[in-house]
A and B are shown apart, each in its own frame.
Chain A
Amino acid sequence: GENVEQHPSTLSVQEGDSAVIKCTYSDSASNYFPWYKQELGKGPQLIIDIRSNVGEKKDQRIAVTLNKTAKHFSLHITETQPEDSAVYFCAARENNNDMRFGAGTRLTVKP
């Protein structure tokens, strides 16, 4: 089955700096790669996703890149704000198969 690894497990940045979280996956058949943000006491929320036919996708301060050859994808957050502090999860999925998640990254943005 699919195995997703996520790094780093914790990340601390100053407000205004950029943050990058990286994930690798094992199953070359995976074709959908979402990113979730989880705030304390809440369920994960989808913030951005990318499909295997696209190399990069951007939504305001958030961008995701995908390298299919190397089987890795990354989340980039620019101009970080304190409200970006949360746990972020990457995931990988092939069509209707089950989705596998990374172990999560706890991002802290210091004012």
Chain B
Amino acid sequence: NAGVTQTPKFQVLKTGQSMTLQCAQDMNHEYMSWYRQDPGMGLRLIHYSVGAGITDQGEVPNGYNVSRSTTEDFPLRLLSAAPSQTSVYFCASSYRGGGYTFGSGTRLTVV
């Protein structure tokens, strides 16, 4: 099992560019989510999904889109990157009501 795989590990974007952060899990987990981590602010939920075809917003969804066409994949799309989106992004998955397995993160810088 690879667990939760995130790509890329690092990315630099110019303001206004769009990109997709990839996340895949091979544990057949129903639940997947995206968090951003900023200094002193812990982990804040962006979007989550309770199963294929179902997504919902978290605490800080503005500027991000997600889709869940398969159980394994949960990509996060930045529509028009802004400097405020500079952060470390973590994808996580779990079975119902269980603990998360996190990916290793994507460090994004928007200039």
**Interface hub of B42, B56, B101 (most chain A Cβ within 10 A):** B42
Cβ-defined contact, A101 with B97, below 8 A: no
Q: Which residues of B contact A49 (CB under 8 A)?
A: 99
Q: Which residues of A contact B35 (CB under 8 A)?
A: 101
Measured CB to CB, the nearest residue on chain B to A51 is B97
Cβ-defined contact, A101 with B43, below 8 A: yes
**Interface hub of A42, A89, A96, A100 (most chain B Cβ within 10 A):** A96
Q: Which residues of B contact A100 (CB under 8 A)?
A: 45
Chain B interface residues (CB < 8 Å from chain A)? 4, 30-31, 33, 35, 40-43, 45, 48, 50, 56, 58-59, 90, 92, 94, 96-105
Show 17 residue pairs from A and B whose CB-CB distance is below 8 angstroms, ordered by the A residue.
A31-B97, A43-B103, A43-B104, A46-B100, A46-B101, A89-B42, A93-B97, A95-B96, A95-B97, A96-B30, A96-B50, A96-B96, A96-B97, A98-B48, A99-B94, A99-B100, A101-B35
